[in-house]
Amino acid sequence: MLLRSKEIAFTGIMMALGVLLVTLGGYFEGSTLFFLAAASFLTGVVFRSISLTAALSFLAGTTFLGFILAPQKLYLATFLAFCVYVLAAECMEKAWGGEGAAGGKGRIWAAKALLYHLLLGVSIFLVQKFFGFEILFSKGILSKFKDHRVFLLVLLVLSAEFLWLIFDRAYFYFLGRYGRVFDRLKQG
């Protein structure tokens, strides 16, 4: 029973930290993606330290509390997509023996690429359906690209690809470098 209590307390601490990061992302607009990515990294910490069930509980609790406390509710969709990617990447790593396994590296990267592009496609579809792309060109620097929409779309997709690679590498670097710190925190 004591071990279960430690796991619950650890998940609660990670959830509080996750909600804080998601909320900060709403206040510091220039660093929103950083804070949302950092919060999603905690999903992987809970997954590696405890279990998939605990990570899903962390995700549900953080999303619920973030919806109540965060100033920008739409940022939670990005947070959820990041978390889905992190959990799927962790499950792939666990199932296929990690990137060091023979043949596992290519299979894992292909599966992660498929998942990322699926999430990106869904998000682009939803943005277009609910808001339309005209809002992008209404004001600011993007209004200068009104006549060059194809060029802007290619630029945005390339930027999204670059950000995916940075996110993926940053996540696995973070857990490789600081994963033991969270394990010691969990043990008490």
**CATH number for 38:** 1.10.1760.20
DSSP character for 89? H
- The confidence score (pLDDT) of residue 1 equals 44
- The confidence score (pLDDT) of residue 121 equals 85
> What would the pLDDT profile of 101-138 be if each residue is shown by its tens digit?
556 678 888 888 899 989 888 887 877 777 666 666 66
The whole domain housing 49 covers 2-187
The CA distance from 182 to 48, in Å, is 10
Pair of tokens at residue 149: 């929409």
- The confidence score (pLDDT) of residue 185 equals 67
- The confidence score (pLDDT) of residue 124 equals 78
Identity of the residue numbered 166: I
DSSP sequence for 8-39: HHHHHHHHHHHHHHHHHHHH-GGGHHHHHHHH
Number of domains in the chain: 1
Which residue pairs, CB below 8 angstroms and at least 24 apart, start in 47-52? 47/86, 47/87, 47/90, 48/90, 48/175, 48/179, 48/182, 49/10, 49/182, 49/183, 49/186, 50/7, 50/10, 50/11, 50/186, 52/87, 52/91
Pair of tokens at residue 53: 């069930």
- The confidence score (pLDDT) of residue 98 equals 60
- The confidence score (pLDDT) of residue 83 equals 94
DSSP character for 141? G
- All residue ranges of the chain with pLDDT < 50 are 1
